Amino acid sequence: MAEKTQENENIQTIDLDNINIEQIDITGSFYKAIQWCEEYLFQANTIYQGVIIGVSFIVGMFIYRMIKGKVRDGINNSDLPGKVKRVSLNISKLLFPFITLTVIFFMTRVASSDLVGVDVSLINGMMKVLLAWIFIRIFAQFINNNAVRNVFALGIWAVAALSIFGMLESATATLDAIGFTIGDSRLSVLAVIKSMFYLFILLYFATFVSSFAERKVLKSSSLTRSSQVLIAKIIRVVLIVIAIIIGLNSSGVDLSLFAVFGGAVGLGIGFGLQKGISNLFSGMLLLVDRSIEPGDVIELENGTFGWVNRMAARYTEIVTRDNKSFLIPNEEFITQRVVNWSHGNSLIRLEVQFGVHYNSNPHDVKRLSQEAAAHAHDRICKDPEPVCHLTEFGDSSLNFKLRFWIKDAERGVTNMRAAVMMALWDTFKENNIEIPYPHREIYIRKEDTLDRNNEKTVPTKKATKNS
């Protein structure tokens, strides 16, 4: 009770209208830290234990550097599955704390014997900390993301270390003392840290569950592709919102605190995320009206042609024939004109224009070109059949349009036009049908040229006489 009273004396409260900001007396805390170092840290027994811990770490590092290369090479050269190999490489990094723990254990047995008689309470605490770190890192391997795994392990280990050395209550009391009060609500550093921790755990869990649910939904054969993507997005958004609300409530944060900043922050977020929110709802609208679905072949106004590979929350991924991925914001599909080659029906008509010499029989040309297109490639539909029309008596040729149909435009359309034109070339060569090229005839009359030359030279002679 006396200690708690003394701690409260080191806390000062500053009233600013309705906001109370609590500050800790840093000078008093600093003198307390110096006093603790004099009474405990700078004692001979503590120094002995520090030397033992330091020597154990040096020996552990030396042994670890000697064997880590061989251990990693053995794992890399093994026939283990990829995921098991990754986990094994991560666990191999724990050899250093494990070796250090082993060395400390044997040195502790010697130091605590009757012959030496050193108090090893600090060493025992360090052994527990190392053991906690090893177990936490092993259990954290189920997290695939390296950054998330490291943050999770460090957070749990810090709490375990403070608890082992009996400093958890003091640390939480100190963090709880640092804060400010708005009206009847209070927000401390401890509440912020707990909120961040709970949000981190719950958001990761919500993401994991939503990913699992998304995989299950996408495997459902009773739903259309657009319905699958829409349901997966709704599940992810709902789980994330629930995780945020539960995380804030579990950490003891009064949600009414955010009402003070809600207007300003909401306005700022509204302007900052205007495009992001627009793209999010545009993507949902596309999935609801089913105007664009994954797998559709589309063409944009700028000439981008490809098939829809993925529809995300902010963008839609378009993969072209040359395997380039274009990330198009969802809003552009709402505000701009888009050609969906697969909307409603995947049957697509292509056209090839060509010309033949006037000596050719147009009836034979029409028949041969239709037969050539029908047998040019197995992707060309037999029903409806290819058709050919004489469209123009040109300057140098009889002009035709050959039209044919395909059902798999995502596999390319240029290659089909090329196949048909090659078939036409071979057919025309076999049947002596010529493909003309433009030519012009120029007539030059010599009499007109002489007259023009005379008109130019006569004025010159007159000018000479006058001069």
Structural tokens at position 325: 């991925």
pLDDT at position 463 is: 42
pLDDT at position 118 is: 66
Q: What is the pLDDT of residues 165-205, one digit of tens each?
A: 777 777 777 777 776 666 566 667 777 777 777 777 777 77
Pairing, β 325-329 against β 339-340: unpaired
Query: What's the rounded Cα separation, in Å, for the pair 358 and 436?
Result: 9
pLDDT at position 333 is: 85
pLDDT at position 40 is: 61
Query: 297 has which bridge partners?
Result: 307
Query: What's the rounded Cα separation, in Å, for the pair 389 and 355?
Result: 11
pLDDT at position 26 is: 58
Provide Rg for the chain, Cα atoms. 41
Query: 404 has which bridge partners?
Result: 350
| Tally: H helices and E strands in the chain | 16, 12
CB 352 within 8 A of CB 424: yes
Ranges of residues in the chain whose predicted pLDDT is under 50: 1-23, 458, 460-467
Q: Residue 93: name the closest of 64, 57, 52, 123 by CA.
A: 64
pLDDT at position 17 is: 45
CB 24 within 8 A of CB 174: yes
Contacts of 282 (CB under 8 A, 6+ apart): 329, 330, 331, 333, 334
Residue keyed to tokens 């955010």:
258
CB 124 within 8 A of CB 111: no
Q: Residue 363: name the closest of 397, 395, 388, 392 by CA.
A: 388
Which domains are assigned to the chain? 2-184 (no CATH), 188-281 (1.10.287), 282-340 (2.30.30.60), 345-467 (3.30.70.100)
pLDDT at position 370 is: 92
Structural tokens at position 467: 């001069």
Which string of DSSP letters, residue by residue, matches 189-256?
HHHHHHHHHHHHHHHHHHHHHHHHHHHHHHT-TTS-HHHHHHHHHHHHHHHHHHHHHHHHHHTT--GG
Q: Is the pTM of this model over 0.85?
A: no
Other Cβ atoms within 10 Å of 136 Cβ, number:
16
Question: Measured on CA atoms in the order 162, 164, 167, 173, is the torsion positive or negative?
Answer: positive
